[in-house]
Amino acid sequence: MIDLQFLEKLYNNDRRTVARSISIVESNNSTSAELLKEIYSKTGNAYRIGITGPPGSGKSTITNQITKLYRSQNKKIGIIAVDPTSPFTGGALLGDRVRMSEIGSDANVFIRSMATRGSLGGLSKKAIDAADVLDAAGYDIIILETVGVGQSELDIAQAADTTAVVLVPESGDAVQAMKAGLMEIADFFVVNKSDRPGSDQAVAALRTILYMRDHDANSWMPNIIKSVASENKGIEEIAAEIARHKNYLNEHALFQKKREEHTKSRIKVIVEEKLREELWSGDGGKALHTSLEKIIYGGLSPYHIAEEIIIKFKNI
Amino acid sequence: MIDLQFLEKLYNNDRRTVARSISIVESNNSTSAELLKEIYSKTGNAYRIGITGPPGSGKSTITNQITKLYRSQNKKIGIIAVDPTSPFTGGALLGDRVRMSEIGSDANVFIRSMATRGSLGGLSKKAIDAADVLDAAGYDIIILETVGVGQSELDIAQAADTTAVVLVPESGDAVQAMKAGLMEIADFFVVNKSDRPGSDQAVAALRTILYMRDHDANSWMPNIIKSVASENKGIEEIAAEIARHKNYLNEHALFQKKREEHTKSRIKVIVEEKLREELWSGDGGKALHTSLEKIIYGGLSPYHIAEEIIIKFKNI
């Protein structure tokens, strides 16, 4: 299935092959691992930008506008929009329709939405794998757009070279963002829809929080950009901030370090997933099936059974 | 630390000991496993109700009202409010304040909020462990309240005997709920804030979707309850629906089956978590540290390295 011809087409950005490759990666089976191994040596060239924030903050509008800006510089743009919250917000679908009409017909823009479709696990892993596919296909910039609500977003932010956290003036997000460790993932903030009341206060609140943190003169200090993405205001400033952060990473030899850290965490995810498969398809699965009797008749707790299964698995 | 005196106090619902026990469970260390093993034989008596839905749908108001109703029947109520989205919504904090003033001073109501506080993993496991603590402390009913946006909610719904999915009229959630497998976790739906426009349409849309699904005459058909929780309307109907579902589970011998399935998935979670710890603290961790050289100089991909680590781990 993954033959040289297929790979050649992928490396030449044949759209059908790119789409097919992402579907393979989404299926997350042995073909997926085979493909990802093959293409790995062709990856590492694209710059990866994470855009995260609450539903309705305008992430996809920002993504669209910045894509148009980068297109005017003749960059090829890959977009992976991950929406684990789609059960409720429906964001992915609506956003896509707007998106497709504006930039979807451009041959040098590739857009892929990944919603949950009933299976909630492993979404961030698949999104990161899909970024590898686009990277191998020669896209210069890959935008990973996520709704910031959980572990998936942190994983994806870790996979990005630069991450923007998008907020809106009225949501009082600043304080909340600090609590949830979002300060750690934001390389800069965007206060979008800043023509609404309260945007200056939101910026001031964010700034206060940022300055309260420990930092020295050399460390990166996230900026706060005001934008009205629907009117294309602030988009150049966002692009400039991405460029400034990229330079900072390069100058401080952090770019490679960041990618190495990400590679490590990626290996961990792959190992854990494979191990989990092997564990439950083998003796562990059998032990699990007989465990209930032990609990019901033997007075053991799930914690006791878990220890038994682990001891067995390690003595294979 | 976990001595007989401590356990005795927990079983007698000494509030400080209950609070302390949940903190232990939240810390998720070896003391936590020790405690959970000890108390397991005292659990299984409480009825567990899951309440999930999007932010702003009124889950905590419903929880408060139904708690007051159950209190009038002299039931002891434990509430675990899980909010993995608190980085943005701030829901947990606000909800708590209202909650505490209404029902928090009642000695037979125990409320615990679990937000992310920066560490996003394992929240559902901890919430389910905390439910065991409240169960062992003699609470008759445990309400697990979650914002329905991810894997955590599905895990928690699986841990509940009866799960209510709360929606609001205007969000067009019905169709989205179907897409995300939420139909599978809802034992019934609540359309809250049903004094707003569109509530009849929302109910009709939900009903259409429910009837479209495969079902036979014997299978459980989720009802749709309209409520205005802030005015205490529909709360008795919700309680009646919970009772109806409980009866259904008992009559069809599904109650025990559901709990057994949950116990199995819980064992899986415990095993995987422990295995992960052992994996990375031992040779796997070392292999991970040396993996980057292999990638950089050896031309290997993360997928290659992952396979190597697994082979080593299994050959211990």
What is the torsion angle, in degrees rounded to the nearest 10, for the CA atoms of residue B255, residue B258, residue B264 and residue B268?
A: -140
Does A63 score more than 60 pLDDT? Answer: yes
* Alpha-carbon span A131 to A265, nearest angstrom: 16
Per-residue confidence at B191, pLDDT binned at 50, 70, 90?
Answer: very high
Note whether B302 contacts A267, CB cutoff 8 Å.
Answer: yes
Distances (CA, A) of B228 to A44, B46, B206: 54, 27, 18
Report how far apart the first and last C-alpha atoms of chain A are (Å, whole number).
34
Question: Per residue in B15-24, pLDDT tens?
Answer: 999 999 999 9
Does A55 score more than 50 pLDDT? Answer: yes
Note whether A303 contacts B263, CB cutoff 8 Å.
Answer: no
Read off the pTM: 0.70
Chain B residues in contact with A305 (beta carbon < 8 A): 267
Residue A230 sits at the chain B interface (C-beta within 8 Å) = no
Size of chain A, expressed as the number of residues it contains? 316
Residue A218 distance to chain B (closest CA, Å): 25
Q: Residues A218-231, buried b or exposed e (16+ Cβ, 10 A)? A: eeeebbbbbbbbee
**Interface test mutation site (partner A, options B170, B171, B270, max chain A beta carbons within 10 A):** B270
The pLDDT assigned to B91 comes to 44
Tokens of residue B46, six digits: 């409480």
Is-contact B45 B14, C-beta < 8 A? Answer: no
The per-residue DSSP string of A260-307 comes to HHHHHHHHHHHHHHHHHHHHHHTHHHHHHHHHHHHHHHH---HHHHHH
* Alpha-carbon span B46 to B69, nearest angstrom: 17
For residue B65, the surrounding DSSP H or E stretch is helix B59-72
* Alpha-carbon span B201 to A95, nearest angstrom: 24
Residue B315 distance to chain A (closest CA, Å): 8
B15: buried, middle or exposed (CB in 10 Å: 19+, 13-18, 0-12)? exposed
Chain A segment 130-159 residues within 8 A of B by beta carbon are: 148-152, 154
Chain B residues in contact with A117 (beta carbon < 8 A): 179-180
**Interface test mutation site (partner B, options A36, A96, A124, A149, max chain B beta carbons within 10 A):** A149
Residue A205 distance to chain B (closest CA, Å): 15
Residue A91 sits at the chain B interface (C-beta within 8 Å) = no
Residue B104 sits at the chain A interface (C-beta within 8 Å) = no
Question: Per residue in A7-40, pLDDT tens?
Answer: 999 999 999 999 999 999 988 778 998 999 999 9
Is-contact A165 A186, C-beta < 8 A? Answer: yes
How remote is the C-alpha of B133 from its chain's centroid?
14
Is-contact A190 A165, C-beta < 8 A? Answer: yes
Task: Please give the average per-residue pLDDT across A269-276, as a whole number.
Answer: 83
Note whether A271 contacts B309, CB cutoff 8 Å.
Answer: yes
Tokens of residue B203, six digits: 């109910």
* Alpha-carbon span A177 to B155, nearest angstrom: 25
Distances (CA, A) of A242 to A74, A186, A193, A236, B43: 17, 12, 19, 10, 53
**Interface test mutation site (partner B, options A301, A310, A313, A314, max chain B beta carbons within 10 A):** A301
Does B284 score more than 60 pLDDT? Answer: yes
Note whether A260 contacts B36, CB cutoff 8 Å.
Answer: no
* Alpha-carbon span B28 to A309, nearest angstrom: 19
Among A96-100, A110-114, B85-89, B218-222, the least confident range: B85-89
* Alpha-carbon span A288 to B264, nearest angstrom: 7
Question: Per residue in B106-132, pLDDT tens?
Answer: 889 999 988 754 444 577 888 999 999
Chain A segment 48-77 residues within 8 A of B by beta carbon are: 53-54
For tokens 């996520």, what's the residue?
Answer: A146
Alpha-helical segments (H) within chain A: 4-11, 15-27, 30-39, 59-72, 86-89, 91-103, 123-136, 151-159, 173-179, 182-185, 199-212, 235-251, 254-281, 283-298, 302-314
Taking one residue from A and the other from B, the number of pairs with CB-CB distance under 8 angstroms is 193
Does A88 score more than 90 pLDDT? Answer: no
**Interface test mutation site (partner B, options A154, A176, A308, max chain B beta carbons within 10 A):** A176
A290: buried, middle or exposed (CB in 10 Å: 19+, 13-18, 0-12)? exposed
For tokens 């929780």, what's the residue?
Answer: B229
Q: What mean pLDDT value characterizes chain B?
A: 83
Q: What percent of chain A is modeled with pLDDT above 90?
A: 41
Q: Which DSSP category does B180 fall into? A: T
The pLDDT assigned to B174 comes to 54
Question: Is A42-252 assigned to CATH 3.40.50.300?
Answer: yes
Closest CA to B95 of B122, B60, B67: B60
Chain B residues in contact with A306 (beta carbon < 8 A): 267, 270-271, 274
A235 vs B100, residue with greater confidence: A235
Residue B172 distance to chain A (closest CA, Å): 8
Distances (CA, A) of B35 to A214, A299, B42, B136: 37, 15, 12, 11
For tokens 């009082």, what's the residue?
Answer: A172
**Interface test mutation site (partner A, options B154, B262, B303, B315, max chain A beta carbons within 10 A):** B303
- What are the strands, taking DSSP E only, across B119-246? 141-147, 162-167, 188-191, 223-226
Closest CA to B57 of B194, B221, B204: B194
The pLDDT assigned to B11 comes to 97
Chain A residues in contact with B53 (beta carbon < 8 A): 88
The pLDDT assigned to B266 comes to 86
A102 vs B141, residue with greater confidence: B141
Chain A residues in contact with B151 (beta carbon < 8 A): 120-121
* Alpha-carbon span B248 to B254, nearest angstrom: 8
Task: Please give the average per-residue pLDDT across B9-36, as a whole number.
Answer: 92
Give the CA angle between residues A82, A85, A90 to the nearest 5°: 90
Tokens of residue A12, six digits: 């030449």
Chain B residues in contact with A257 (beta carbon < 8 A): none
The residue in chain A having the minimum alpha-carbon distance to the alpha carbon of residue B94 is A176
Tokens of residue B60, six digits: 């905590």
Tokens of residue B274, six digits: 């422990």
Chain A residues in contact with B150 (beta carbon < 8 A): 84-85, 120, 149-150, 152
Task: Please give the average per-residue pLDDT across B102-107, as a whole number.
Answer: 79
Question: Is B37-252 assigned to CATH 3.40.50.1000?
Answer: no
Please enumerate in sequence order all residues whose Cβ is within 8 A of that of B231, keeping only pairs 6 or more positions apart, or say none: B195
* Alpha-carbon span B227 to B164, nearest angstrom: 13
CB-closest option in B41, B85, B266 to A149 = B85
User: Where do the domains of chain A lie?
Assistant: 42-252, 282-314
- Using only C-alpha atoms, what is the Rg of chain B? 22
Handedness of CA B182, A127, A30, B270 (dihedral sign): negative
Note whether A310 contacts B275, CB cutoff 8 Å.
Answer: yes
Task: Please give the average per-residue pLDDT across A148-174, as a whole number.
Answer: 77
Residue B216 distance to chain A (closest CA, Å): 23
Chain B residues in contact with A279 (beta carbon < 8 A): 271-272, 275
Tokens of residue B266, six digits: 């819980």
The per-residue DSSP string of A236-257 comes to HHHHHHHHHHHHHHHHTTHHHH
Q: What mean pLDDT value characterizes chain A?
A: 83
The pLDDT assigned to B119 comes to 45
Please enumerate in sequence order all residues whose Cβ is within 8 A of that of B72, keeping only pairs 6 or more positions apart, or say none: none
Note whether A88 contacts B171, CB cutoff 8 Å.
Answer: yes
User: What is the SS3 assignment for B188?
Assistant: strand
B216 vs A273, residue with greater confidence: A273
User: What is the SS3 assignment for B129?
Assistant: helix
Report how far apart the first and last C-alpha atoms of chain B are (Å, whole number).
34
The pLDDT assigned to B171 comes to 59
Chain A residues in contact with B295 (beta carbon < 8 A): 263
The pLDDT assigned to A36 comes to 92
Count of C-beta atoms within a 10 Å radius of residue B8: 11
The pLDDT assigned to A92 comes to 46
Does A267 score more than 90 pLDDT? Answer: no
Please enumerate in sequence order all residues whose Cβ is within 8 A of that of B210, keeping only pairs 6 or more positions apart, or say none: B183, B221, B222, B224
The pLDDT assigned to A295 comes to 73
Per-residue confidence at A296, pLDDT binned at 50, 70, 90?
Answer: low
CB-closest option in A89, A150, A271 to B84 = A150
Q: What percent of chain A is modeled with pLDDT above 70?
A: 84
Q: Which DSSP category does A49 fall into? A: E
